[in-house]
Amino acid sequence: MSLASKNPSIVYWLGDHLYLNITNRCSNDCYFCFRRYKSGINGFNLKLREEPTLSQITDELQNFINRRAWEEVVFCGFGEPLEKLDYVLEVTKWVKKHFPITVRIDTNGQAYIVNDRRNVIEELKEAKVDRISVSLNAHNKETYNDVCRPKFENAYENVVKFIEKAKGQFDVEATAVTIPEVSILKVEEMARKIGVKFRLRAYQPCFW
Is there a domain that residue 25 lies in? yes
CATH, residue 25: 3.20.20.70
Is there a domain that residue 207 lies in? no
Alpha helix locations (H) across the chain? 54-64, 85-98, 111-114, 120-127, 141-148, 155-166, 184-194
- Domain hosting 50: range is 3-201
Is there a domain that residue 145 lies in? yes
Rounded CA gap, 196 and 190, in Å? 9
Instruction: Quick: pLDDT tens for 30-58.
Output: 999 988 888 999 999 999 999 999 999 99
Pairing of strands 17-20, 11-14: antiparallel
Is there a domain that residue 208 lies in? no
- DSSP 3-state assignment of 97? helix
Is there a domain that residue 21 lies in? yes
Residue 4: pLDDT above 70?
Answer: no
Predicted pLDDT of residue 207 = 44
Residue 101: pLDDT above 60?
Answer: yes
Instruction: Quick: pLDDT tens for 124-179.
Output: 999 999 999 999 999 999 999 999 999 999 999 999 999 999 999 999 999 999 99
Is there a domain that residue 192 lies in? yes
17 — pLDDT class (breaks 50, 70, 90): very high
The total number of structural domains in the chain stands at 1
